[in-house]
Chains A and B, each alone.
Chain A
Amino acid sequence: MEANFNIQILEEPLSLQACYDFVIDEKCGGVNAFVGTVRRWNKDKEVTHLDFEAYIPMAISELSKIATAAKSTFDLEKIAIHHRTGIVKLTEIAVIIVVSSKHRKASFEGCEFIIDELKKHVPIWKKEHLTDGSYWVNARP
């Protein structure tokens, strides 16, 4: 993996500080972070927790492609992407994306691009557990 990328799929709680520390660079004047957390309400359904499953080697490979595209498109300097597997409770962190760049606009746009692409292509699946059942998100037509 490129030295400027820190991409991990982890079973344990994620650290925003670790991602922030990784992207800090003296060439950069901007850092942008997206943190995805577990919310209680999905429309009118009450969520108790999420359970994430990942095809880890392919997920890391796909995330590396996305990071490579983001780095060149938005002129980013460093990129950290950490994603959870296993059970993630209400308010806990499911995903962190932190990027650094010379100027702020690139960091906003690059961060948004990465989370949007992650949701489209990366082989990670979320089972939503509700007070009255559970289901794989996005599985049914």
Chain B
Amino acid sequence: MRVICFGIIKDVIGNAEIEVDTKGGMTVADLKAFMYEKFHGLHEYKSFMVSVNQEYATDDLALHSTDEIALIPPVSGG
């Protein structure tokens, strides 16, 4: 499953996207837990949101390999 990264998350992991193994099933909460486990540097920053198919997703949403998934750190446009 391909996950797109932006802003501070992109800087912390050193890549604009990463490949995540869903191991047969993963929710938004599982993906967040995986990211914090794999990239300890994320703990220094505010928590991030996850978007699925360009919509903000809740923690209980199940992810699919065909979804467009992105990690959304706190926004700062304008």
Q: Do A and B come from one complex?
A: yes
- Contacts from A to B (Cβ < 8 Å): 36, 52-55, 57-59, 61, 83, 94-95, 115, 118-127, 136-141
Give the residue name and chain of the A residue nearest to B48 (CB). A139
Decide if B72 is an interface residue (CB 8 Å cutoff): yes
Docked Cα-Cα span, A136 to B77, in Å, equals: 11
Give the residue name and chain of the A residue nearest to B11 (CB). A136
Chain B interface bracket (under 10, 10 to 19, 20 to 34, 35 or more): 20 to 34
Task: Please determine whether A125 and B76 come into contact, CB atoms closer than 8 angstroms.
Answer: yes
- Contacts from B to A (Cβ < 8 Å): 4, 6-8, 10-11, 44-46, 51, 54-56, 70, 72-78
For A139, list chain B residues within 8 Å (CB).
7-8, 45-46, 73-74, 76
Q: How many A-B residue pairs have CB under 8 A?
A: 79
| B5 CB, min distance to chain A CBs, angstroms | 10
Q: Tell me which of B11, B73, B78 contacts A36 (CB under 8 A).
A: B78
For B6, list chain A residues within 8 Å (CB).
53, 55, 123, 125
Docked Cα-Cα span, A123 to B4, in Å, equals: 12
Task: Please determine whether A125 and B78 come into contact, CB atoms closer than 8 angstroms.
Answer: no
Task: Please determine whether A137 and B76 come into contact, CB atoms closer than 8 angstroms.
Answer: yes
Docked Cα-Cα span, A87 to B1, in Å, equals: 31
A-B contact pairs, 21 of them (CB 8 A): A55-B51, A57-B54, A58-B54, A83-B78, A95-B78, A118-B78, A119-B75, A122-B75, A122-B77, A123-B70, A124-B75, A124-B76, A125-B6, A125-B7, A125-B76, A139-B7, A139-B73, A139-B74, A140-B44, A140-B46, A141-B45
Task: Please determine whether B72 and A55 come into contact, CB atoms closer than 8 angstroms.
Answer: yes
Q: Tell me which of A118, A140, A141 contacts B77 (CB under 8 A).
A: A118
| B51 CB, min distance to chain A CBs, angstroms | 6
| B58 CB, min distance to chain A CBs, angstroms | 15
For B11, list chain A residues within 8 Å (CB).
136
For A52, list chain B residues within 8 Å (CB).
77
Give the residue name and chain of the B residue nearest to A127 (CB). B7
